[in-house]
Chains A and B, each alone.
Chain A
Amino acid sequence: MSNLKRFKRSAPIMQLSLKSTPLATIAVLMVFCYLSNQLVAQNGLREIPDTAHDAQLKAFAPMPGASINLFAHEPAVANPVHMNWDRRGRLWVVSSRLYPQIKPGQTETDKIVILEDCDGDGVAEKQTVFADNLHIPTAVLPIDGGAYVANSVEVLFLRDTDGDDIADTREVVLSGFGTEDTHHLLHTFRMGPTGMVWMNQSIYIHSHLETPYGIRRLLGGGMWHFRKDTQRAEVFMKGLINPWGHAFDDWGQSFMTDGAGGEGINFVFPRSVFATSPGASRILHGLNPGQPKHCGLEILSGRHLPDSLQGVFAAPDFRGSRINLFRLTDSGSGYISTQIQDLVASKHRAFRPVDIKMGPDGAIYIADWYNPIIQHGEVDFRDPRRDHENGRIWRLTFDRRKLVEKPDLPSMSDEALVEALNAPEGWTRHLATAELRMRKPEAMQAALAAATPPDGADVELFELRRAWANLATNQVDSKQLQSLLASKNHKARAGALRVIYYETERFPEAFEIASKAVTDPHPHVRLWAVSVLAQLNHAKTVHAALKALEGVDAKDEFLDFAVWSICREHAQRWESAAKAGNPFDSLDQLLFAVRAVNRPIGLATIMAALKQKKLSSDAQIQTVTDLISKVGSAAELNEIFEYALLPGTPVSHQRKILSALVSAGRLRKLKPQGDRSRIQRFLDSSDPNLFATAAVLAGQWGVPESQELLEQAFLNYESDPARANAALNGLVAQAGKPAGQFFDRIMNDGNAPYSLRTLATVGRVRITPAFGAKQAIRVLKDAPSSDAAKSVYAAILANKIARNSLIKSLQDQQLPSPIALAGIQLASNSAVRSNELIAALRAAGQIKPMKAALTKTEMESMMQRIAKQGDPHRGESIYRRAELRCVACHAIGGVGGAVGPDLVSIGSSAPVDYLIDSMLQPSVKIKEGYHTTIISTFDGELIAGAVAREDANEIVIRDAEARERRISKDDIDEREIGKISLMPTGLTEKLREDEFVDLIRFLSELGKEGEFKTQNNRFIRSWQFLQPHDRIRDEIGHYGDVIFAEDDPTYEWTEVFTKVSGDLPFSESPNLVGRGRNRHGAARTFIETSKAGNVRLKIRGKLKDLSLILNSTELPLPKGGDATEVTLKLERAGRHKLTLAGLKQWGLDGVSVELLDDASVVTVAK
């Protein structure tokens, strides 16, 4: 053992003298350093919050009835990252001063501290440094007689063998975890109900583990579990960006939170895959899209807490300096999550709650990382504003409720310990499991076998806990699990399956059990049955799993995913049988399985069924056509083509088939066998969709007879631009000489309408990019306005060859300034920005370069102006301007576009200088998960955006306008992670300086305690405004406001979101001109209910001028006042239209509508 102790050596290379230097001296030195060096940082320093404990205490706003006290603080605890309790009721905290990066010469001195409240006064008076020789440790779990510690690349097990609470042995338990980013390191350790260690890693981490059972790799984010007894380490789920929270509910189901994903609570199960998992062709989503990002997760329980908090999920929002609460209800195989009030919020900007755990006394403990700066991607590693000294553990109690007596688990008899497994406090149950693992397994097993449920206990839950405890002693009791599988409560049945899932090798009957459970009445149980099947080495696992889909809601995404996943993972077990016929029970099952693997298997069976019209629903046709377009042969393409040509085939089927044929041609260069000229039939179609796809097919297939029809439609541009554009696509697809000559003739014809000339130019550029771009200059010179030139520029920008040709051809050319400027603007906003093209256009248009970055002095004065003069309210209206496109790309609290990061708490997480920089130069700092992927094809085409999904054959890119584009991997020349943000530059050029100041001020307030923090009230935030319409002036007097609720097909509605406050700003709505001076505004939204019944709304605003219409019935509102409650009596489940209208001229701003009922009853439809 003595050799092992050497790890505690202090390794004095360049010993830092921090310990002996008074803190004040260091602070003065630091201030001095950047007074002289860094003006920008100095600015930020002024914002550094007061580090006094009182300052933080005063800034807390806990929920009513709760109080907060300081449990522990610096210097014992500095920047706490993670914490867990031991069975003696002591809190183990891991903290890192080295974060984010060790400096050459620094020793590894990061710590684990044990905090102990010996006298029960809620303050940790005893602090012991258990270890002080760690390298950016990110998790600690004190069980099994020592502590598991995440130490960058390794999981260590540290143990104290001589009773002084100082680690003296150090063993590497697992190694091979990546360190590509130190806030992504292995983290979030938690012991599960069966005594395993659960561990998470984040997006950039790539881990490679040798285990006694084989190599295990996890590339990207995900979660591991590890059983010490068997030394088995396995991946449980994959994906999520920063999965910094994981908790088990009462029934042992796993839920995770994400520090960057923003979908609130995530329900995870074996083999589930979430956002950003590399190579994922399908992902699942969290239960609360658009939520703030979270670090940590705990499920509240115990007698100290009020009833309203029992079973509630608590997730710290470290950016918004608050702790969010969620309540979950069952829904299908998964759950619905509703956000409720916050547990606590703080105005103190350095309060960074990163972990939350229930304590032994029934109170809630919160780890406060304490830092004004978070993250280390955007803000420099060595930024002096980083706090490396402070850290706090807060304790939240309820004033009028008794604390729980701290259980003394180590002194309990085995029998008493088994009773503790059923305590009302999750803490006690959890640590009793840790304690029983320290006892003799045989004695514990005997005590477990003899236990009876306490009076009034849920017997099924008691049995499930007994099964967990058995497994925690490394025993499985097959008979007991069999009886659990017969429980009334579906959660108990699912729980039993989960125990089997971990240990399938010890259950010879696992296949029989799972294949029975796939038809369980409850989809949640089916999900676990499929998960068990996925573990098994049995030939019929997929046959069994497919039965799980029968009779359940087709929209049950979790179950659908699980079955899809096993069809792929166990493909070898059914594919050869499917070559000979349908090995499954039904055609739908075969279709599902084949679709999942996406390979040409069983197509003969499927084609025969299509011919015999056994596949007739739109959904079936969609599946078949999609499948054939991806994997079918020329013969099969012909078969679906012929089906489209059959008399009586519905238009909806024809549309699907033609677009499948287009995809096959584009992505796989595959055409149907047989006579392709039959496509002309669809060129006569009056259905615009059919014409458009047929035009492209006629081009792709080179059907010469179609040329004339396409040219006619093209020339008819003025009367039917959509059809002309479709014809353009067809002619481009032909890519032949006749089409090229046709385009040349029009683009060079000075007498042709200019719109037609640009359309022809676009065609020319698309067929022959280099030649087309060169010819385009002449057309650009003739442009009557800058807008008219845009489509030509867009076509050139989308192709590398065209772009380079334009750069070259512009050398000795001049363009009118406005025309060149239009090109510069488009080029600057393109994700694949070319500085060379911008320079060439500048030269050609004689335009001076624009200023983008600020000098340090300018930044200084800008930050002062923002603080002194910035008006966040004016800023919000500027943010909402359509031309700035903020709302189109960014959401605030889930409301708005999804292209860029949600800004819900940007003000509380990002310093002002960062906001200014990001606005002026978006590409300097790019949020993780928002890097652009740039694909260039062999044809020179450039496609930039986020990778939506990909499989072996193709990749789907979502661009800045949220359009998806499929690209065949065979066509890809280069694929790179772009260094340019999708956010366009030059947006701010449209602003005056005072407007810029207001806008930044608004952003800097987002998420801070105050008016610009998104409230948890369920405001309806998505609406549509009615655009001006002729009939209103004439008919409003006759029919009244109900005309706004009519389904008039000529009405035009545009999307609008409420302000951060939840207010729908009628001042922004278009004026609907009524009689005389009356100016109306009308907005509508849709709500969806899962059942008939009453839905209560709270309406705030100037009621006098407002009317409310449900579907087509006006509901009476009070004639005055500014708030009222309304009950909607919904006679059926489904979608309902809600219209709000009112007179604007006397002020109608600030109308809000809030749902007062549970989310499971009603949701806002899109």
Chain B
Amino acid sequence: MLLLLSPTLIGGAANAQAVLQSDDRIAIVGSTFVERARLYGHLETNLQLAAGPDVTNLQFRNLGWSGDTVFGDARSYFGPPREGRNRLDKVISELRPTVLVLCYGTAPAISDRQAWTGEPTAKLMTDSGLDATQKSFAQGYQSLVDRAIKAAGGSIRQLVFIAPPPFESLGPPLPSQSSNNRRLAAIRDTIRQLAEKNKGHFVDLFHTLGGDDFRDEPPEKPLTHNGIHHTEAGYQIIANELAKGLGLKRSASIELDSKPVDELRDLVIEKNRLYFNRWRPSNETYLFLFRAHEQGNNAAEIPQFDPLIAEQEKKIEVARQRIFESQPNQ
């Protein structure tokens, strides 16, 4: 439990240099928490600013997928979770990220005596108690990391493991999240061990956002709307904790609730929208899968998003530099 007091940095080698460096391609992989972050832009905007003016041209790629697990359940389409893992490998091999940010753990935490994956080799373990579920989660997670490193072909410089933020008991008629939080705390420990083992950076959002208090009464200012999913305001607060957890510090003079930051965030959101249509386009059945012989010709449109995304990223860089330049002491 002592470790909880110094939750941020693990792995001596990673400490020596900044987590984010110029020209980094940062892939963020996870489930609903990650996927929905793209709509609000807070996490990314905050990190863009916290990285400071000397770090330039950061490219964030949100690869979150609602309901996903370390086995790739949600990423598969018509087949078993294995398909989802193959899909992630493929995206990673195309992106060749330098920083891989991972945030899993919600699925096992909210699944008390319920199977949380369709992966045949793990399904039975996941509904038979916390110990078994932790073990299967750890195995799946490690394999995900190994595969991603291999798929990236040596491009990954930095691994970041995020423990999800705590759930909130918002009061009846919503259910208490108390026991789910106990489970998430245990899952968090597993994630920390994985971070250590893989010499990755560990960010304990569960702890920094008060998870270890195990409160069962409604918080004054909830960060979630249903106990497990975060509001826009929630993401804004979490973004600060994430930046801190990564050892980054935004200049105190940058006001987040300001027009220039709002504009930057708008650009980020739009970039995310373009990238979403690029990597998760609608109609994949017709574009790439078993009905591609009918409409596969239209797949040619999809890479046409790339120049639009690049253009948007230039605007993002201009906007953040403008914010830095307007600071009195920078």
Contact = CB atoms under 8 A, between A and B. Distances in A.
Interface of A: 3-4, 6, 9, 11, 13-14, 100-105, 108, 136, 152-153, 171-172, 175-176, 178-182, 185, 204, 206-215, 217, 229-231, 278, 376-378, 380-382, 474, 924-926, 928, 931, 977, 979
Given A171-B231, A182-B283, A979-B290, 19 more contacts: A11-B270, A100-B282, A101-B281, A102-B282, A103-B301, A104-B301, A105-B308, A179-B282, A181-B282, A208-B68, A215-B116, A231-B226, A376-B295, A377-B295, A381-B286, A381-B298, A474-B173, A924-B294, A925-B294
A231 B32 contact: no
A4 B298 CA distance: 34
B67 interface: yes
Nearest to A106: B277
Contact of B274 (A13, A213, A214, A928): A13
Given A13-B274, A214-B110, A215-B116, A181 B286 contact: yes
Interface stretch (B73-81, B205-213, B245-253): B73-81
A179 B283 contact: yes
A161 to B, nearest CB: 14
B156 interface: no
B73 A208 contact: yes
B310 to A, nearest CB: 12
Contacts of B283: 100-101, 179-182, 376, 381
Contacts of A179: 280-284
Contacts of B39: 172
Nearest to A381: B298
A931 B291 CA distance: 9
A1003 to B, nearest CB: 20
Interface string B131-149: 0000000000000000000
B48 interface: no
B175 A381 contact: no
The majority secondary structure among interface residues of chain A is loop
A-B CB proximity, top 5 nearest: A208-B67, A176-B66, A104-B304, A208-B74, A231-B226
Contacts of A378: 294
Contact of B262 (A6, A215, A278): A6
Contact of A979 (B114, B231, B293): B293
24 contacts: A6-B266, A11-B273, A104-B302, A104-B304, A172-B36, A172-B229, A176-B32, A179-B281, A179-B284, A180-B283, A181-B282, A181-B285, A204-B285, A207-B67, A209-B67, A210-B67, A210-B106, A212-B175, A212-B227, A214-B116, A215-B69, A230-B173, A230-B174, A376-B283
Contact of B107 (A4, A175, A182, A215): A215
B31 interface: yes
Most-contacted residue by chain B among A13, A171, A979 (CB, 10 A): A13
Nearest to A382: B298
B282 A212 contact: no
Contacts of A209: 66-67
Given A13-B270, A104-B304, A214 B262 contact: no
B61 interface: no
A105 B262 CA distance: 22
Most B CB contacts (10 A, CB to CB) among A9, A175, A179, A210 go to A210
A266 B35 CA distance: 35
Contact of A3 (B226, B232, B297): B232
A210 B110 contact: yes
Contact of B273 (A108, A178, A208, A212): A108
B246 to A, nearest CB: 23
- Among B66, B73, B173, B273, find the residue whose CB has the most chain A CB atoms closer than 10 A: B66
Interface residues of B, number: 67
A234 to B, nearest CB: 13
Contacts of B232: 3-4
Interface in B189-232: 225-229, 231-232
Contacts of B280: 153, 179
A105 B308 CA distance: 7
A11 B305 CA distance: 15
Contacts of B229: 172, 210
B265 interface: yes
Contacts of A376: 283, 286, 295
Given A376-B295, A380-B295, A931-B290, A210 B31 contact: yes
A3 B262 contact: yes
A177 B78 CA distance: 14
A217 B116 CA distance: 9
B111 interface: yes
B298 to A, nearest CB: 5
A215 B115 CA distance: 8
B68 to A, nearest CB: 7
A381 B277 CA distance: 16
B112 A214 contact: yes
A190 B330 CA distance: 56
A176 B84 CA distance: 14
B177 interface: yes
Contacts of B187: none
Contacts of A178: 77
Given A6-B262, A231-B174, A214 B32 contact: no
A101 B285 contact: no
B21 interface: no
Contacts of B274: 13
B293 A924 contact: yes
B282 A206 contact: no
Contacts of A185: 282
B103 to A, nearest CB: 13
A748 to B, nearest CB: 44
Of the candidates A104, A924, A931, the one having the most CB atoms from chain B within 10 angstroms of its own CB is A104
Contact of B177 (A207, A212, A931): A212
B8 interface: no
Contacts of B316: none
B66 A208 contact: yes
B15 to A, nearest CB: 33
B101 interface: no
A206 B77 contact: yes
A14 B270 CA distance: 12
Contacts of B284: 179-180
B155 interface: no
Contacts of A14: 308
Contacts of A3: 232-233, 236, 257, 262
B269 interface: yes
B118 interface: yes
A179 B265 CA distance: 26
B287 to A, nearest CB: 8
B290 A977 contact: yes
A212 B285 contact: no
Contacts of A215: 67, 69, 107, 110-111, 114, 116
Contacts of A180: 77-78, 282-285, 289
A179 B312 CA distance: 25
Contacts of A207: 67
Interface string B295-325: 1011001101100100010000000000000
Contact of B228 (A103, A212, A925, A931): A212
Nearest to B305: A104
Contacts of A377: 286, 291, 294-295
Given A104-B304, A181-B283, A13 B269 contact: no
B87 to A, nearest CB: 12
Contact of A206 (B76, B111, B177, B270): B76
Contacts of B173: 229-230, 474
A850 to B, nearest CB: 21
B218 to A, nearest CB: 14
A206 B77 CA distance: 7
A6 B41 CA distance: 11
B308 A175 contact: no
A104 B308 contact: yes
Nearest to A6: B266
B282 A101 contact: yes
